[in-house]
Chain A
Amino acid sequence: MSTYQEERIPFPSPWRLVKELRLRRPPWWLVALLLLVVIGTWIPLTLIYQARQQTSRLPRIHFFHDMDHQPKFGPQAAHPWYVDGRSMRQPIEGTIARGMLEHDQEYLLGYVTLDGTRASSPTRFVATLPERLSADSNLLNRGRERFGIYCAPCHGVEGAGNGPINQAAMALKEGKWVAATNLMTQMIRERTDGQLFQAISDGVRSMPSYRSQISVRDRWAIVAFVRELQQTLPVAAEPQEASSTASASASTTPATVP
């Protein structure tokens, strides 16, 4: 029998193949089988699509683990040896890391005490920004930004005591919540810079201490920014009408000192 090669006939086109094979209509079951297979291929694709759309509680699948684990404890990781389960150990109480000793009490605390420690009560609050800081635009911008992050949630972006957290707490009628102070009142304006700094550091009434969240320089920057706000914005009415609780306004008058 002659072949295509011998007859030097080019390889048949698909159309010629179909013609010579006398392909008319494939049997129904073959078509059905093919269709079934094609539809079957959609199942895994649908599953993948679903997996991509949904969230999953199951741990992630990772094929190669060689880069995953270093014999180390990362930040805030758990440690099996310690009772509290922390791999990060706290500094021993009363110790100061090398090079971290600060003597400048006015800068650190915002007030001066007789024996120079935080434990005793202040004799004098710092009146203005410490000398090592200059109230330039850098400091004010930093203060604006930090105020926006840490203070505005309660005190509002303009210090009027109407931040979203304060509003939410008032709407919930929380009994323990003391309304955020309006920082534009004459009373707050008359406070010294040191008093404001000390309020941020140690907290006032229900306001917590922000010592751990805001660095010393940033706390001074916030004080500088609040002063700037007070200069540009009008004096607000005293808090008797602004805050709902009379006791809140009464307790603000004496300088709260630890």
Chain B
Amino acid sequence: MTNITEPPPNDGEAAAESTGARYQFPRWANYLFPTLLLVAIGVFTYIPLLGTLAISPDTRAVGYQPAQPVPFSHALHAGKLQLDCRYCHSTVEYAAFAAVPPTQTCLNCHAAIKSDSPKLALVKEGFETGNPLRWIKVHDVPDFVYFNHSAHVNKGVACESCHGRIDQMEEVSQAKSLSMAWCLECHRAPEQSLRPREFVTAMGWDAQTATGKSQTELGAELAQDYHVQPLHFMTSCSTCHR
């Protein structure tokens, strides 16, 4: 009987059979080699897959929702009451940083509305003492990344492109990964995310329903109108790292 020499257990079995030695490899030993082969293939595909998924910023960073000092609901204020983002984050159009509003802005309305609510106690205390509220920053890019809100908002990149549907968030959580690969996705193809400036704060805006043009078509036009920088600038290291 011809047999294969490669798998040692099988070879041993064959040898044992032919010589009639006392020890015989059990029948299942035949399955060891193919099983190991299967397991090896599995391990070599599974471990990289698992690693990639586990360390992906979509797993590590998205969904971060720190507990804030005041239970402020964006779903109520920006969603139901339709306040424009810029009512509170008023510096977003001319500064790099979209300022968290001072307590004065809260009290614009809350001096009269729900003024005795215990949820507002910290806000009122902050306003009276002058001590700022310590909000926890949800969307935080590394310090060596220079991100400018005004540059994006004035070129027609919407709030929701990076922050998600804030108008549906009771508590704000991180919606996008804010990883470098994610930034570059848009920097390489800005026309996929541009919209007319007057709609940057609109939520759930869609190019097709709003303008009748496809996003790519509209985006390409807007990129030209707003003088969006060419690809070599948008993907240059020093555009974001300085």
Identify whether the interface residues of A are mostly helix, strand, loop, or mixed: loop
Whether B213 sits at the interface, judged by CB under 8 Å, is: no
- Choose among A37, A67, A76 the residue that contacts B145 (Cβ–Cβ < 8 A): A67
The closest CB in chain B to the CB of A3 belongs to: B5
In the complex the two chains form, what is the Cα distance from A55 to B170 in whole Å?
12
Instruction: Identify the stretch in B112-120, B153-161, B220-228, B230-238 within 8 Å (CB) of chain A at 4 or more residues.
Output: B112-120
In the complex the two chains form, what is the Cα distance from A38 to B108 in whole Å?
59
- Choose among B28, B54, B62, B63 the residue that contacts A44 (Cβ–Cβ < 8 A): B54
> Which B residues are in CB contact (< 8 Å) with A174?
112-114
Q: How far is the CB of A41 from chain B (nearest CB, A)?
A: 6
Identify whether the interface residues of B are mostly helix, strand, loop, or mixed: loop
Whether B61 sits at the interface, judged by CB under 8 Å, is: yes
The closest CB in chain A to the CB of B100 belongs to: A76
The closest CB in chain A to the CB of B58 belongs to: A52
Q: Are B97 and A176 in contact (CB under 8 A)?
A: no
Q: How far is the CB of B141 from chain A (nearest CB, A)?
A: 9
Q: How far is the CB of A123 from chain B (nearest CB, A)?
A: 29
Q: Are B63 and A169 in contact (CB under 8 A)?
A: no
A30-B31 contact, Cβ under 8 Å, with A44-B50, A70-B144, A165-B81: yes
Q: Are B63 and A52 in contact (CB under 8 A)?
A: yes
Whether A75 sits at the interface, judged by CB under 8 Å, is: yes
Q: How far is the CB of B35 from chain A (nearest CB, A)?
A: 6
- Choose among B60, B104, B105 the residue that contacts A60 (Cβ–Cβ < 8 A): B60
Instruction: Identify the stretch in B38-46, B183-191, B203-211 within 8 Å (CB) of chain A at 4 or more residues.
Output: B38-46
The closest CB in chain A to the CB of B81 belongs to: A164
Q: How far is the CB of B207 from chain A (nearest CB, A)?
A: 20
> Which A residues are in CB contact (< 8 Å) with B82?
153, 164
- Choose among A60, A74, A153 the residue that contacts B143 (Cβ–Cβ < 8 A): A74
Whether B21 sits at the interface, judged by CB under 8 Å, is: no
Instruction: Identify the stretch in A106-114, A124-132, A205-213, A229-237 within 8 Å (CB) of chain B at 4 or more residues.
Output: A205-213
Question: Contacts A41-B50, A68-B144 given; 11 further ones with Cβ under 8 A?
Answer: A22-B30, A23-B30, A34-B39, A48-B59, A72-B143, A75-B95, A84-B130, A84-B131, A84-B132, A165-B81, A213-B90
- Of the A-B pairs whose beta carbons lie under 8 Å apart in the complex, a sample of 9, sorted by A's number, is A3-B5, A26-B28, A27-B27, A44-B50, A48-B53, A55-B65, A86-B132, A165-B81, A177-B113
Q: Sorted from nearest, which 9 A-B pairs have the closest CB atoms? A: A70-B143, A55-B65, A75-B97, A176-B112, A149-B84, A67-B142, A67-B144, A177-B112, A61-B60
* Chain B residues with a Cβ under 8 A of chain A: 2-5, 10, 27-28, 30-31, 34-35, 38-39, 42, 46, 50, 53-55, 58-67, 80-84, 86-87, 90, 95-97, 99-100, 102, 104-105, 107-109, 111-115, 130-132, 134, 142-145, 171, 173-174, 198
